[in-house]
Amino acid sequence: MDNNNTNNTAGDEKSCEYCNASENERPIFTTDFKGRKLHVCARCLPGLIHG
């Protein structure tokens, strides 16, 4: 029972904190922001970079 890709409701799967996309939809990047971990997807990351 390792690595099953069913719908998740809990667990440690990452999802974007801006649009809630899961890592099954888009790549999710983990970065440090204001002293904490921030999860942001490939789509929202450019907006984050540009302010």
Name the site residues for Zn ion (rule: CB under 5 A).
16, 18-19, 21, 41, 44
* Residue 25 to residue 23: CA distance in whole angstroms: 5
**Least distance in angstroms from the C-beta of 24 to Zn ion:** 13
* Residue 8 to residue 25: CA distance in whole angstroms: 13
Of 18 and 23, the one with the shorter C-beta distance to Zn ion is: 18
**Least distance in angstroms from the C-beta of 46 to Zn ion:** 10
* Beta carbons of 47 and 36 less than 8 angstroms apart: no
Of 14 and 18, the one with the shorter C-beta distance to Zn ion is: 18
